[in-house]
Amino acid sequence: MAGFSFEHLYSEKVVFCVRTGHPLLSQGAIFSGLNAYTVLMPTRASIIRPFVEFPHHQRHCRVANQIETVSDAFGRAFVRESDAIWIISEGVVAADIAEDKLAALPVDTSGTKGPVGLTMRTDAAPSMPQAILMQTIREAAGEVSPAA
């Protein structure tokens, strides 16, 4: 990321997210049945992809049908209308889970914490509106994750 700086605000894990009522929510061995479903994954160039590769889980399953996307709108719509599984940052779907529109599968993803923060160009000083927005984001991030 030449020419950019990253300010880490907090870390967030990924979740295996499905629609409410998905068959895997009542199944004990999730990874044995994973191959039967389409899995939405972040693109290989995305920041969270290394955390989504789930190497410690790969020996248990192979994902045959993957769709790579970084579109939250597409992921949300596709998962709500299908039996697909969406591997995504927890914060992206937190409101959907709280509203019982989506559910997180009971998969231990504690080792998948990835950085959330601000990426800025190093060759330009932020304007006053940008600086105010960045400060507001920092404050909101502190409320989301005070230990960050």
CATH code of the domain covering residue 18: 3.40.190.10
Given a contact cutoff of 8 angstroms between Cβ atoms, the answer to whether 75 and 27 are in contact is no
Residue 57, in any domain of the structure:
yes
User: 8 lies in a domain?
Assistant: no
Say if residue 102 is exposed, middle or buried (CB neighbours under 10 Å; 0-12, 13-18, 19+).
buried
Give the residue ranges of DSSP H helices in the chain: 30-33, 49-52, 55-58, 72-80, 90-98, 128-144
* Containing structural domain, residue 45: 13-113
Instruction: Determine, yes or no, domain membership for 123.
Output: no
- Alpha carbon 98 to its chain's center: 16
Closest CA to 83 of 12, 14, 13, 27: 27
Split into its structural domains, the chain has a count of 1
Report field, pTM of the whole predicted structure over 0.85: no
Asked whether residue 137 is assigned to any structural domain, the reply reads: no
Q: For residue range 117-144, what is the model confidence (pLDDT) as tens digits?
A: 899 999 999 999 999 999 999 999 988 7
**Phi, psi (rounded to 5 degrees) for 79:** -70, -40
Residue 118 CA to residue 44 CA, distance in Å, equals: 20
Whether 49 maps to a domain, the answer reads yes
pLDDT at 43: 82
pLDDT per position as a tens digit, 71-121: 999 999 999 999 999 999 898 999 999 999 999 998 888 877 878 889 999
* Percent of the chain whose predicted confidence (pLDDT) is above 70: 80
Q: Is it the case that residue 56 has pLDDT exceeding 50?
A: no
- Tell me the CA distances in angstroms from 130 to 3, 5, 62, 78, 124, one per residue in order: 18, 15, 44, 34, 11
- Mean pLDDT computed over 8-32: 85
